[in-house]
C-alpha cells in the first residue's frame, strides 16, 4: 500500500491541529511537532496508506522519496514527476 499523492487529500482535511498539510504536486507533509496522535488521518485515508508507529503513537506518512520503487522487482511501483515538477 503506497500513498497515491491525492490532489485534495482527505487525510489532511480531518487533521485537527494542522500537522498534516497538502503538498504541492499532491499528497501531504507531516509536521510531527503538531501531531497529537489522534488517528483521524489513518481513518480518513481512502487507500489505507497511513501506517502507524506504535512506539511514538504517530502516523508514518509517505514523503515520496521513491526509494521503494527502486526495489520493486515487478515494476509495480514507479515515481513520476507531475506537471508542476514535483514528484507524485
Q: CB of 68 within 8 A of CB of 77?
A: yes
Give the total of residues touching ligand SF4 (CB under 6 A): 36
Q: Is 87 in the site for ligand SF4 (CB under 6 A)?
A: no
- In the bound state with ligand SF4, the residue whose beta carbon lies nearer, of 20 and 24, is 20
Q: Is 88 in the site for ligand SF4 (CB under 6 A)?
A: no
CA dist 46 → 21, 33, 37 (Å): 16, 24, 19
Q: CB of 88 within 8 A of CB of 64?
A: yes
Q: Which of residues 33-52 bind ligand SF4 (CB under 6 A)?
A: 35-41, 45-47, 49-50
Amino acid at each position: 500500500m503506497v500513498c497515491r499523492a491525492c490532489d485534495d487529500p482527505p487525510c489532511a482535511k480531518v487533521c485537527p491541529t494542522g500537522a498534516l498539510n497538502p503538498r504541492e504536486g499532491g499528497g501531504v507533509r507531516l509536521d510531527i511537532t503538531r501531531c497529537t496522535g489522534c488517528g483521524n488521518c489513518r481513518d480518513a485515508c481512502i487507500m489505507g496508506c497511513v501506517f502507524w508507529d506504535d512506539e511514538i503513537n504517530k502516523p508514518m506518512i509517505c514523503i515520496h522519496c521513491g526509494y521503494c520503487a527502486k526495489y520493486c522487482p515487478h515494476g509495480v511501483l514507479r515515481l513520476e514527476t507531475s506537471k508542476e515538477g514535483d514528484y507524485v
